[in-house]
A and B are shown apart, each in its own frame.
Chain A
Amino acid sequence: MIRAEGIYKRFGDHEVLKGIDFVFEQGKTNLIIGKSGSGKTVLLKILVGLFKPESGHVWYGDTNLVTASKEELRKLRMQVGMLFQGSALFDSMTVEQNIKFPLDMFTKQTHKEKIDRVNYCLERVSLEGINKKFPSELSGGMQKRVGIARAIVLNPKYLLCDEPNSGLDPQTSITIDELISSLTKDHNITTVINTHDMNSVMEIGENICLLHQGHLAWKGNKDQVLNHSNEILHDFIFASPFLQKLIDNKK
């Protein structure tokens, strides 16, 4: 469980988050949704301590990330896996070396154990056999999946994904959503996903928080999304006239 408490963040005069309270629950896929520029990435980076909020706290169990010392922070982070919006794969290393890096750094496993683990993670993201390729030789979607493989290699208790399926075709998107969802269930992980993909919201949105102009505009789950009276959520979901038409026809 990760608990955000009164998160306030600004860059210069630009207030991005104006007090966010939210509980990201364990064993569930928690979604942060909102328009582009609404502060999803900023919130995610505050959750992992890459940005410091001007005020507010982030609780991992009973450790406060905002006030934690560098040492505590590092210990905590070994339990956190993160997928960046741009994947952030190390581009002078092969896929295998990328995924193996955390193992090399933090475990005393033998070479064979590490390779087995790498292969297992690659299998989970359906990318067997690309061990020796470099990130530049992969498509965007494959890079995302390698990013996920690297994020889960140390069996994290917390998995944070920044737009895991932006820029991907609907089918690949669904595969990635299903992958993250099943990882969450299999290992009882606290998963936080940034997205503005409505498909993901409807498929895996177990605990959703909608950001709008720096505030938490709505929270709920996928079943509540369609039966609600929140205008901001309505505007966000039915931004596409196509979807609106579909719903109208159904009625």
Chain B
Amino acid sequence: MNFNIFHHFGNFIQWQGQIYRRPENGKMYYKETIRQMYDIGIGSFPIVFLISIFIGAVTAVQFSYQMTGTLIPAYYIGYIVRDMEIIELAPTITCLVLAGKVGSNMAAELGGMRQKEHIDAMEIMGVNTSAYLVMPKVIAALLMVPVLVCASAIIGIAGAYIASVPVGLFTSSDFIKGIRSFFEPYNVFIMLVKAVVFGYILTSVSCYQGYFVKGGSIELGEASTRAVVYSNILILLADYVIAIVLTA
């Protein structure tokens, strides 16, 4: 039992080989990918929007509180908010939220199919269910998560503006000057790397939890919870590793 983690890790790695195979029928996979892109992209946009705007707003308000009485120039606000959003907040917070929404959803969907013998029924037809049920989800996430993360960064910066400029914490020109200062395109690259890696983690970990579920509805609930918890832990771990590797 102590080696459970290694057991699952080994299984997980082995399973990846089953997923990335030539599709039996490109059109079916394509259709499924589009459906998943719609689910992930459009389906998650409202929650991403809401969270991003508040995260941006809070960052601005708290930063202005920390700045009062210091010699840091006021225009730094735009600069700080922008880079915080791009490097850390947009990719990490968005993907933690997506793990909760998209990840638990995928685990429950696959787990339900497993328990109701739908996966077995497809296997009997000759379908490679690991590929058909998982690959479209992963591809859709790899395409849509970066889009959501970019949107989150932009919305977050807008949120910061809305929360600070109208109430007089900063002037509009300070804020905009900050946003246009010290811009590093490399930071956007870091953001996209994070988005892709996190997107991969949250879909494949969640699908793994759902696909191999056993037992009944209690186990299904547990699998869905594990999908979120493990995705979150691995996302934070990957966040740290990427931070070290890409800023070294």
Q: Which residues of A line the B interface, CB within 8 A?
A: 48, 50, 70, 74-78, 80-82, 84, 86, 88, 90-91, 101-102, 104-106, 154
Contacts and interface: CB of A to CB of B under 8 A. Distances in A.
Interface of B: 18, 24-25, 27-28, 116-118, 120-121, 123-128
B126 A74 contact: yes
Question: A-side binding surface: helix, strand, loop or mixed?
Answer: mixed
24 contacts: A48-B124, A50-B120, A50-B123, A70-B128, A74-B127, A78-B125, A80-B124, A82-B124, A84-B117, A84-B121, A88-B118, A91-B116, A91-B118, A101-B125, A102-B125, A104-B25, A104-B27, A104-B28, A105-B25, A105-B28, A105-B126, A105-B127, A106-B125, A154-B125
Given A88-B116, A106-B126, A82 B25 contact: no
A81 B124 CA distance: 7
Contacts of A80: 124, 126
A154 B127 CA distance: 13
Contacts of B126: 74-78, 80, 105-106
B190 to A, nearest CB: 39
Contacts of B128: 70, 74
Nearest to B128: A74
Given A104-B25, A106-B24, 18 more contacts: A48-B124, A50-B123, A74-B127, A78-B126, A80-B124, A82-B124, A84-B117, A84-B120, A86-B117, A88-B120, A88-B121, A90-B118, A101-B125, A105-B24, A105-B25, A105-B28, A105-B125, A106-B126
A50 to B, nearest CB: 5
A77 B116 contact: no
Nearest to A108: B25
A132 B138 CA distance: 31
Nearest to A84: B117
Nearest to B17: A70
A70 B118 CA distance: 19
A84 B128 CA distance: 19
Contact of A82 (B28, B118, B121, B127): B121
Nearest to B113: A90
A106 B124 CA distance: 13
Contacts of A50: 120, 123-124
A205 to B, nearest CB: 24
A106 B23 CA distance: 11
B128 to A, nearest CB: 6
A75 B121 CA distance: 15
Nearest to B29: A105
A154 B124 CA distance: 12
A70 B28 CA distance: 21
Closest 9 CB pairs of A and B: A78-B126, A77-B126, A88-B117, A88-B121, A82-B124, A74-B126, A102-B125, A105-B25, A84-B117
Contacts of B24: 105-106
Given A86-B116, A91-B116, A106 B121 contact: no
Contacts of B118: 88, 90-91
Nearest to A90: B118
A157 to B, nearest CB: 13
Contacts of A90: 118, 121
Contacts of B116: 86, 88, 91
A211 B128 CA distance: 32
B65 to A, nearest CB: 50
Contact of A77 (B27, B28, B124): B124
A17 B74 CA distance: 78
Which of A80, A84, A105, A154 is most buried by chain B, counting CB atoms within 10 A of its CB? A105
Contacts of B123: 50, 77
Contact of B25 (A91, A106, A154): A106
Contacts of B25: 104-106
Contacts of B124: 48, 50, 77, 80-82
A248 B143 CA distance: 74
B34 to A, nearest CB: 15
A104 B120 CA distance: 18
A161 to B, nearest CB: 12
A48 to B, nearest CB: 6
A27 to B, nearest CB: 21
A225 B123 CA distance: 36
B127 to A, nearest CB: 6
Contacts of B117: 84, 86, 88
Contacts of A91: 116, 118
